[in-house]
Chains A and B, each alone.
Chain A
Amino acid sequence: MAPSLRPGKQRWQGLGRLAPWLLLLTGLLLVRFSKGAGFVDAYALLTRPFWPGPAQREWVEAAVDLEQRARLTLLEQDNQRLRGLLELQQRGETGRDVAAAVISRRPRDWWQQLELSRGALDGIAKDDAVLGPGGLLGRVASVTPATARVKLLTAPGHSIGVWLPRSRHHGLLVGTGTTRPELRFIVRDPDVRPGDLVSTSPASTLLPPNLPVAVVQSVDDQAVPLSKAVVQLIAAPEAIDWVQVRTR
């Protein structure tokens, strides 16, 4: 190549020779300041076939599961001890759960009830709590030797006392016939928000304590005489085939 007449070109050529090294340096600096991003990613890609297999993940998950169950047991024991100290009733913890199939379902009729496949012979009695996956469904209204009839929480006029764990207020859950019962408060300013959990009262004597029941959907602050809320039940009676009856 013929030498150029322009003096600046020489300098650029020198730079051109340096350029690869400069690029390498920039690359290294990038790696340094990104905490080794590219390298680790490449490493991960290359070593993917040697990663710990699903078996190991299952072990870890099983261990976590076991740990949580153990913690739950410990907390339950602790809770029982504390409740004993407070001399609260122990029914919820000592009661036996009887699994029963739903043999007839009338959740949207004039009468909102379920018929269960177990009855007095299995130790079920009137007013026992009936639980579905997720929480309380209703209470046993009557029993025959082999069946039990459950009055759902959604039944019009069916009311139970409930508790809002976040704001520590009591309320009255009243069925209105629809899938969304009404929560009436006893105090003027109940401090309740949509999304709040509604459970049975920790000091409940009629129902097992601390059972999840529903989630607050909307709050009507303007209602007279006291504010009301609409809640969504956690356990849906339309879709449940098996329930647990907590006998006393």
Chain B
Amino acid sequence: MVPMATLATPPWLGLDGIPPCWVVLWLLPWALVDGPISGALAGAALGLVLDGLTSDGLTLVPALLGLGWWWGRIGRRASPVQRSFNLGLLALLGTAMLGLTLLLQLLIAGGGVLEPSLWAWGLHTLACQTLVTGVLAPMLVSLQMLFWRRRVPI
């Protein structure tokens, strides 16, 4: 589902042409419902698939693994997270972290120096993707949580 959505995102669904981060929108409800181990595994698996869909050396695996683990712990420990504002905030933070790991990798690949134009582009992409994912999250994530909860009653 996630790779297909990533490939098929129409250009109008996004901010300034930058699409939402579908993997966050899928992983968040999964990890919240299914726990840290399953979340981390799902994150790593999706990261591997998505890395295969891109041609650069950048990888999503560590960020998604960490996010899956973190969201799984939140889902298990705290009282069930289901208010739209909380879901939106979690998706926002997750996307920002994902983007930051990518920027960090670019920085490391550039030997610790990133050109000003690349900085501008990276921060722009990060901000747009974070915003659009945060906006879509309350609706999509709560629907998916309902779906998963019905299949796996707590």
Contacts and interface: CB of A to CB of B under 8 A. Distances in A.
A220 to B, nearest CB: 11
Nearest to B102: A110
A156 B54 contact: no
A104 interface: yes
A-side interface size class? 20 to 34
B136 to A, nearest CB: 15
B54 A176 contact: no
B106 interface: yes
Contacts of B19: 106, 108-109
B55 A141 contact: yes
Nearest to B8: A104
Contacts of B56: 111, 155
A156 B103 CA distance: 12
Given A111-B54, A113-B55, A176 B18 contact: no
A156 B8 contact: no
A54 B11 CA distance: 42
A182 B121 CA distance: 13
B55 A110 contact: no
A212 B102 CA distance: 33
A93 B19 CA distance: 38
B62 interface: no
Contacts of B16: 108
A193 B56 CA distance: 33
A142 B117 CA distance: 26
Contact of B118 (A113, A149, A156): A156
Given A108-B18, A109-B19, A149-B55, A178 B7 contact: no
A178 B11 contact: no
A197 to B, nearest CB: 22
Nearest to B17: A108
A149 B106 CA distance: 21
A105 B11 contact: yes
Interface string B1-30: 000001111010010111100000000000
Contact of A178 (B115, B121, B129): B121
Contact of B7 (A104, A177, A182, A238): A104
Interface string B112-149: 00010110011011000100000000000000000000
Contact of B117 (A104, A110, A178): A178
A238 B118 CA distance: 20
Interface of A: 103-111, 113, 115, 141-142, 149, 151, 155-157, 176-178, 182, 238
